[in-house]
Amino acid sequence: MPKGLILKTSNNTESDCYELGLFGADMLARDAVLMIEPRDNLFLLNVDSDTLTGTFEAASKGGYKLVPYAWRGLYPYQVKIDPSNGQRTIAHAKGCLDHLNIPAHRLLHEFETDALSKLLQAGGNGHQSTSSIVIPSSDPIEQIRLKLAKARKERGITNADYDRPSLQATTLWDYPKQSYGKTPKGNNKYAGVTPAFIQYNLIKRYTSPGDLVVDPMCGSGTTIDVCREEGRRVIGYDIVPAHPDVIQNDARHIPLDDNSVDLVFIDSPYGDNIKYNDSPLSFGNISAESEEFYDELEKVMVEAHRILKPGKVLGWLIGDQWVKHKFTPVGFKIYERLTRHFEPMDIISVTRRSQTSNTGIWHNRALRFNFYLRGFKYLHIVRKPSDEQSPQATERQVKWAQYDRTSAKGT
């Protein structure tokens, strides 16, 4: 069944789309573009002129750099189109789309695609004649909005179906709740459950639809639920599964082939502060003050390295420990072990919201007795080196842009 997709362009790039017979996008629309099939319906939103043009028909599957030189590689996720199908164009497009609750860069249902095509037919002129682009009247738009609302209600579609976390742009991540969307991700009552937006950000940045994601300590299955909703293949293991699709397994011995996985995510115990289960093999039985804790987790790192494809990413979530007047920098210790096997990419600080000490009583105690509550976790992002690379950083020279600060105001 044909899908639909609105892609964005500008005054600088719209003519290239028609000349090349090609639409392109950056990483923000990667998943949607890669799921396009021939004969799916496409629309082009010019963000400068605020016009929408369509309906185009996809002439290829969505892919990566179908035309490598196009737009100097800035928009590598591409789909070929036939630009001569008699498309029509409307003005004030962003307002129309907002009113119809139809966004760009999200795959559209068939009834949404039909609605856009009808809007263009009712209010558009040929896209070559931009001087006579038509502003659609409010009556057809309102009629289409009501039909869309009815179609969504009949299909049980609500705004929660489209609820997704924002992709984070900085190394400080915060989140309002553990899960998102219509269906729960994991079990928010599970001890140490991972905030689902972490896995969402990782798979959106570092995988494509159809890639294989593995979580060797999957707990209540948050990684499984996120990956399935985003079209990734996923395998979750745990020493004591708490999700029907999590496979019982010790993370020190992962039953997968070498170089077969596109991303590994691990949210390991941070020590023996939480009793996860009764298994004698649980890492949560070992104190983070003991080197044994790090020795055993390094065995998991070695397995993750083995199963990852060269150049692919591991994300490891970990927190520090402060107990009985002693601080243990668990995050630093894990990072040091990781860099023995992987190439460092970045370190994210993830705000802690749901820990049991995040209460007024504990905040008061921290002030009265002069200690700090744990306010963040580390998300270590590392990469398995490519075959020709070493995990050790190679020497390089960086030419920094230097700015003259002497003329700044206030000096």
Please give the share of the chain, as a percent, with pLDDT higher than 90. 64
Is residue 165 scored above 50 in pLDDT?
A: yes
Is residue 409 scored above 50 in pLDDT?
A: yes
Write out the DSSP string of 31-86.
HHHHT--TT-EEEEEETTTTEEEEEEEB-S--EE-SSTTGGGGSS-EEEEB-TTS-
**pLDDT one-digit tens code per residue, 267-284:** 998 887 777 777 888 888
**pLDDT one-digit tens code per residue, 242-255:** 899 999 999 999 99
User: Beta strand 233-238 with 247-248: parallel, antiparallel or unpaired?
Assistant: parallel
Please give the share of the chain, as a percent, with pLDDT higher than 70. 91
| Mean pLDDT for the stretch of residues 7-25 | 95
> pLDDT band for position 410 (50/70/90)?
low
pTM of this prediction?
0.86
Name every residue whose Cβ is closer than 8 Å to that of residue 209 and which is 6 or more positions away in sequence: 31, 34, 35, 230, 231, 232
| Mean pLDDT for the stretch of residues 124-136 | 52
Amino acid 390: pLDDT: 59
Neighbours of 346 (CB within 10 A): 10
Write out the DSSP string of 191-258.
TTPPPHHHHHHHHHHH--TT-EEEETT-TTTHHHHHHHHTT-EEEEEESS--STTPEE--TTS--S-T
Name every residue whose Cβ is closer than 8 Å to that of residue 172 and which is 6 or more positions away in sequence: 348, 349, 351
Low-confidence winner among 2-6, 199-203, 243-247, 357-361 (lowest mean pLDDT): 357-361
> pLDDT band for position 33 (50/70/90)?
very high
Greatest C-alpha distance within the chain: 75
**pLDDT one-digit tens code per residue, 38-86:** 999 999 999 999 999 989 999 999 999 999 999 999 999 999 998 776 6
Domains 4-156 and 172-383 share a fold: no
**What is the architecture of the domain spanning 172-383?**
3-Layer(aba) Sandwich (3.40)
Q: Which class does domain 4-156 fall in?
A: alpha beta
Q: Where are the domains of the chain?
A: 4-156, 172-383
